[in-house]
Homo-oligomer: A and B are copies of this chain.
Amino acid sequence: MPAPAQRSINVGILGATGTVGQRFIELLATHPYFKIHALGASARSAGQPYAKVTKWKLASLIPEAVKNMTVEECKPDAPGFAECGVVFSGLDQDVAGDIEQAFRAAELAVYSNAKNYRRDPLCPLVVPLVNPSHFDIIPHQRASLGLQKGYIITNANCSTTGLVVPLAALEQAFGPLETVLVTTLQAISGSGYPGVSSMDILDNVVPHIGGEEEKIEWETNKILGGLSDDKTSFDLHAPKQINVSAHCTRVPVIDGHTACVSVKFAKSPAPSVAEIEAAFRDFRCEAQELGAPSAPAQAIVLHDAPDRPQPRLDRNLHNGACVSVGRVRECNVFDVKFVCLIDNVRLGAATSSVINAEIAVEKGWIQ
């Protein structure tokens, strides 16, 4: 792999006309070495210029470079995809399973934002600021499927991602956590477009998001756990899983999931509030060490103001690639409680996949 400035890696985007696909385009249009080379969407859109078949919903213009690119079907042998070694998938879960598998089978590296393979025992579930070590299962994934180069890497659910970054900082500094109770206040963009009806959310809270609580409760242990010594399985936070309970709600916020978190450490006495704040402030992650261009300068921004983080004011920090944390204080019931915030459409979605791929480049999983 040449030095970053010399690199140029063709990538394709699956589900390019959708909400997550648009974010991939926005991020990759100015990427230092990933070059958008193929745009995949449904057969209905294939063959037409991107701008014509896309209802662009971002607060920026469609990048000139993709405006007139011809959309292709999401097939590995479509001309554009045939020239890519890497694809980013913003596909909906109802089609992601088959299509991503087809691309992997065709020996492509698939960086997926869909939920389909998150619980797969062969597929890493990588939050780029937390567990890039899980890439090490790729050889086993390939071997199990008889592949040379293809693999699938998934990123986590958006609200899980926002939670595990500060939890990772705590475990890194103070050892295992025992209990996590979290209530999320999630943005409407988490549900895609058209997603949440305005009739359901204006002047309202919907205290339920289908399947979301289970995702947080399950994914957390896969992400914060390690690999078996032989790099063939995930240990799911062995020897003792973190006991996670989640309440998920939808609120009238466009972007940015807020979470109120209470945690209990395994060790006693627990660290002090000041020690915990220092751990958040000092947290460094491998993505930064590796020099991934989209990794945030700070993985965790610790806020001093007593009423921060707030989604509207803080979701944009570090281009939406960090997690904001604030209000660290003692909890009457557990050891400590705090508030955290993630930009669900960036670090909670497309940005995670892009940083994951950047890490993979540095580690040699993309060549």
| A interface residue numbers (CB < 8 A to B) | 57-61, 179-181, 183, 185, 188-189, 193-208, 217, 243-245, 247, 249, 251-254, 256, 258, 260, 262, 306-317, 326-327, 331-334, 337, 339
What 16 additional pairs, Cβ within 8 angstroms, besides A59-B314, A188-B198, A203-B252? Answer: A60-B317, A183-B247, A185-B185, A185-B251, A194-B197, A195-B197, A195-B198, A198-B252, A201-B202, A202-B203, A204-B253, A204-B310, A207-B307, A217-B332, A251-B251, A251-B252
Contact of A205 among B185, B197, B245, B332 (CB under 8 A): B185
Cross-interface CB contact of A243 among B189, B199, B311, B333, cutoff 8 Å:
B333
Contacts of A217 in B (CB 8 A): 332
Question: Given A199-B188, A245-B262, A251-B251, is A207 in contact with B334 using a C-beta cutoff of 8 Å?
Answer: no
| CA distance in complex: A331, B180 (Å) | 11
Contacts of A310 in B (CB 8 A): 200, 204-207
> How far apart sit A260 and B205, CA to CA, in the bound complex (Å)?
12
> What CA separation (Å) do A247 and B254 show in the bound complex?
22
A59: which B residues are within 8 A, CB to CB? 312-316
Is B313 a contact partner of A57 (Cβ separation < 8 A)?
Answer: yes
Task: Determine whether the beta carbon of B260 is less than 8 Å from that of A249.
Answer: yes
- Residues A181 and B316 in contact, CB atoms below 8 Å apart: no
Quick check: A208 and B306 within 8 Å, CB to CB?
A: yes
Which interface residue of A189, A194, A199 has the most chain B CB atoms within 10 A? A199
Contact A253 B203 (CB under 8 A): yes
Report the bound CA distance from A204 to B316 in whole Å. Answer: 13
Task: Give the top 5 A-B pairs by smallest Cβ distance, nearest first.
Answer: A194-B197, A183-B183, A247-B260, A204-B312, A208-B307
Across the interface, which residues of B come within 8 angstroms of A253, CB to CB? Answer: 203-205, 252
Q: Given known contacts A193-B197, A199-B254, A260-B249, is B207 in contact with A333 (CB within 8 Å)?
A: no
A sample of 28 inter-chain contacts (CB < 8 A) reads: A58-B313, A59-B312, A59-B313, A59-B316, A194-B197, A195-B199, A196-B198, A198-B200, A198-B202, A198-B252, A202-B252, A203-B252, A203-B253, A203-B254, A203-B312, A204-B313, A205-B311, A206-B310, A207-B307, A207-B308, A207-B326, A207-B339, A208-B327, A243-B333, A245-B332, A247-B260, A247-B337, A251-B252
A245 touches B199 (CB 8 A): no
